[in-house]
């Protein structure tokens, strides 16, 4: 039996969530702290723990069949791989930043200046689009210290919480790219591997849907049901169960995590009481 080889980041912003995703898909493997390659014992996959920077190349060369990494790295490396699915975690942006005391005058600020980055391709395209000639200094890590040590006037790097910029006395001035974790795959895969990938993607979507939704239960007077059903469409439509107390019922439905607070307010306004919100373990549409 063939095994699908999955590349995940060994350590860094994506690694914990990547491993968690596979675990939530029911795949059991050792965690990669000391080993660089491990075989799952209950699903036909092998997990390779690699530097995220190297994953696009390895997937192109079929050293790995699929990889979990940030879109930022996928676009920067521009290898011949296919982006299969956005995963909804590790959201960040690739931004330009300058010393916080400097006055920013728009992209022209960077004209004839030196900018340090690990993303020379994406940054080069940005400068080209904006008709700015600037010098790109490619460095592979600790980009944020470049202005402080006189290496560059500004930087272009990944910003997530923004705390790295803050502690290095920098301010974000332009966002060049928004990014999140994605799955990439090789363009050539055996039918056996494609079949494993289909099963894995089915599980990943169930986990992703579950994480993006909440199960909601509430009590409401029957007179409010029509209005509440309008607020809470649910997967098909809400389940309605009568309560012992006459004229009252309980409604069960699913609500999107990102619309959650807004919906709760609308439900209360419509007359809902005793609202319970419960995480969903898996959700198959
Ligand atoms: C990025 C970037 C910063 C940090 C920013 O590293 O280089 O160091 O995240 O995060 P913050 O805004 O929350 O402080 P990343 O893990 O993307 O890069 P690496 O793989 O090169 O370590
Ligand atoms: Zn990296």
Tell me, yes or no, whether 208 lies in a domain.
Answer: no
Backbone torsions φ then ψ of 262, nearest 5 degrees: -65, -45
Helix axes 15-24, 191-212, angle to 10 degrees: 100
Q: How much is the pLDDT for 32?
A: 66
Q: How far is the CA of 280 from the centre of ligand 1 (A)?
A: 30
**Cβ of 13 less than 6 Å from ligand 1:** yes
Number of domains in the chain: 3
Q: Is the pTM of this model over 0.85?
A: yes
Q: What is the mean pLDDT of each run of 10 residues along the chain (285 residues)?
A: 95 95 94 83 96 97 98 98 96 98 96 98 98 97 95 97 97 98 97 97 96 95 94 84 95 92 94 95 92
Tell me, yes or no, whether 196 lies in a domain.
Answer: no
Tell me, yes or no, whether 140 lies in a domain.
Answer: yes
Q: How much is the pLDDT for 237?
A: 82
Backbone torsions φ then ψ of 20, nearest 5 degrees: -60, -40
| Same domain (yes/no): 34, 175 | no
Whose CA is closest to atom 14 on ligand 1? 164
Contact 219, 250 (CB under 8 A): yes
| Same domain (yes/no): 73, 104 | no
Q: How far apart are CA 110 and CA 177, in angstroms?
A: 17
Residue of 4, 64, 49 whose CA lies nearest to 186: 64
| Same domain (yes/no): 247, 221 | yes
**Cβ of 162 less than 6 Å from ligand 1:** yes
Question: Which residue range forms the structural domain that includes residue 253?
Answer: 213-279
Q: Of 154, 179, 204, which residue sits at a domain end?
A: 179
Best mutation site among 8, 13, 138, 176 for ligand 1 pocket (most ligand atoms within 8 Å of CB)? 13
Tell me, yes or no, whether 119 lies in a domain.
Answer: yes
């Amino acid at each position: 039996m063939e095994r699908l080889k999955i590349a995940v980041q060994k350590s860094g912003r994506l690694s914990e969530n990547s491993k968690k995703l596979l675990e939530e898909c029911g795949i059991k493997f050792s965690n990669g702290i000391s080993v660089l390659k491990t075989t799952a014992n209950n699903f036909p996959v092998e997990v390779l723990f690699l530097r995220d920077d190297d994953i696009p190349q390895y997937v192109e060369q079929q050293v790995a069949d699929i990889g979990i990494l940030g879109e930022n790295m996928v676009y920067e490396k521009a290898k011949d791989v296919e982006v299969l699915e956005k995963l909804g975690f590790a959201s960040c942006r690739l931004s330009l930043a300058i010393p916080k005391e400097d006055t920013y005058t728009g992209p022209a600020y960077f004209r004839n200046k030196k900018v340090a980055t690990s993303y020379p391709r994406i940054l080069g395209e940005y400068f080209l689009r904006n008709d700015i000639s600037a010098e790109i200094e490619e460095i592979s890590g600790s980009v944020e210290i470049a202005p402080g040590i006189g290496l560059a006037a500004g930087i272009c790097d990944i910003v997530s919480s923004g705390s790295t910029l803050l502690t290095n006395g920098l301010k974000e001035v332009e966002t060049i790219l928004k990014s999140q974790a994605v799955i990439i795959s090789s363009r050539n895969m055996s039918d056996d591997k494609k079949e494993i990938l289909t099963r894995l993607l089915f599980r990943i979507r169930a986990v992703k849907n579950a994480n993006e939704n909440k199960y909601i239960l509430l009590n409401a007077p029957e007179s409010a049901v029509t209005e509440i059903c309008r607020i809470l469409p649910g997967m098909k439509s809400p389940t309605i169960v009568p309560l012992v107390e006459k004229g009252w019922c309980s409604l069960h439905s699913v609500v999107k995590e990102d619309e959650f607070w807004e919906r709760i307010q609308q439900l209360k306004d419509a007359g809902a009481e005793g609202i319970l919100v419960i995480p969903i373990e898996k959700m198959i549409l």
